[in-house]
Structure 1
């Protein structure tokens, strides 16, 4: 399979995918190395294909859309790496979906990474990955301070999430 055909195959697989596809999975299916897939995805992005890299793999950005009827809000949080699970579980158990995490970097400005966590299984997967790469938390760049964009049913649910996080000491306040 030629490189151009392989990139088209990657796009087709992403268009059909309901869940993120890891570079390792794509590499195995297409008979190439993981690094070849990473390079192919970079080239596809350069051709203006909106491919997102999540903690579980690649997904077309259109698959990350949340119903417009849902409420979206941002919360400023501050905590240690040991409190990540508590933060994520508090949000999910109270009806929220964590869309992303954002930190302000002194050189690069705002850095945002998609999370799209809305279930205990996704929390467990994220935490398993985090246990192997703990020093790579984005909030480690900012002393634990970060923002989460959260989607939930309504503003009342969002406020409930905020109050539960505040009760746990995870909300950043002056």
Structure 2
């Protein structure tokens, strides 16, 4: 939601100058490896789920922001002018036209964010969060390759299911636009 609101803000008239700053902010977390982000967060937030939630939030910003930005700027100015001619207010144009036309792409950005988050969430077990990554860490610590494989396969399958479900949602909302 934060990334979407930020994309909406920088695409409004008079706020384009904020684009470079917004891009820098949402891209910052992506410049560090996930383990480094967790290592930086643990002294501030502590071990456990808190550090993982903040890291997931930070890593989830970029795909949603960039996809929303691309989708919102892709809406034809003539379509917006027609909506304005129909008497829609700025907020109504945003909700009824821009977001409605952008919805399938926005779902794609959310899908990318969720699948990326599954991988990042798995390494959260290294800082005390209870995730499927615990199986992988236990396997690595005990030298049990079967545990490592089991955890990796479960996370991979979950990522495929989530990705497939979100792709279906994207097709469904895209079909609703016709």
Q: Under TM normalisation by the shorter chain, which class is it?
A: under 0.3
Query: Higher strand share goes to which structure?
Result: 1
TM-score using structure 1 length: 0.27
Q: TM-score, normalised by structure 2?
A: 0.27
Q: Which has the larger Rg?
A: 2
